[in-house]
Structure 1
Amino acid sequence: MKSCLVVDDSKVVRMVARKILEGLNFEIEEAEDGRKAMDVCLRRMPDAILLDWNMPVMSGIDFLRELRKAEGGQTPIVVFCTTENDIAHIQEAIGAGANEYIMKPFDSEIIESKFTQVGLI
């Protein structure tokens, strides 16, 4: 079973993402900010990370930059999931090492199609 770390400061978003991803047969861990997400990754790198941009403590983009420098941090497939939909944010995310980008609000169809595109499903 593949693992996915859901990183979002909204409990509701984490809950919805967990439900969708468990339905796609993923084992889920959650973190409410980039710092906690980094702790999870340093313990055990997940196969995938669904990542919010705007969070307290450490933003998604800062987390991603740190992740990609960490040992084994090139491995997880990172899908940004955010309300920031301008091209500058998208380019910055891809430049920092994101594999894909989805807009909020999302549904199971969007997640399934993106995760299929990047080869997780």
Structure 2
Amino acid sequence: MAQILVVDDSATVRNEVSSFLKSSGLTVEVAVDGKDGLNKLKSDSSIKLVISDVNMPNMDGLTMAEKIRGELGNNAVHIIMLTTESDPRMKDRGKAAGVKGWIVKPFKGDAVLGGIKKMVGA
């Protein structure tokens, strides 16, 4: 039962983000790509926030967001992209898919912790 799902193909980023969130008292699950993330979201209804990279193998983060909203019909979970991607077209696609935030790497946990806690009701 996790509050937050961190989806990134980089083990370093997954570990950094999940460790910071866990040390802040939040429960975290991790996924290695969008396909894995979608499967974990399907099996854990307690997830309130997805923090995802955009560019990943198997399924990118924006496609995953579109599937969360479309195929799963899940409009309740918050989605934030954590990426190096800054292309306005990507951001527009994310916004259309219901992405609530766009954080540019590197992850600066202290700067976003308040917003994250608000999204998960912590």
Same fold (TM over 0.5): yes
Could you tell which deviates more after superposition, 104-113 or 90-99? 104-113
CA deviation vs aligned residue, 1:53-110 (integer Å, no higher than 9, x gap)? 0000000011110011244511111111100113222121111110111000111123
Structure 2 unaligned residues grouped into runs of 5+:
none
Aligned to 2:102: 101
Aligned to 1:34: 34
Partners of 1:120 and 1:72 in 2: CA distance:
21
Aligned to 1:82: 83
Shift of residue 113, structure 1, vs aligned partner: 4.2
- Closer, same or farther in 2 for the Cα pair 1:86/1:120, shift >3 Å? farther
Q: Map 1:13-32 onto structure 2 (within 5 A).
A: 13-32=13-32
- Structure 1 runs, 4 residues or longer, greater than 3 Å off: 116-121
Q: Is the 8 A contact 1:14 1:30 kept in 2?
A: yes
Residue aligned with 2:75, SS: coil
Partners of 1:120 and 1:60 in 2: CA distance:
23
Give the aligned length.
121
Partners of 2:118 and 2:59 in 1: CA distance:
28
- Once the two structures are aligned, what percentage of the paired residues are identical? 26
Residue aligned with 2:106, SS: coil
* AA matched with 1:49: V
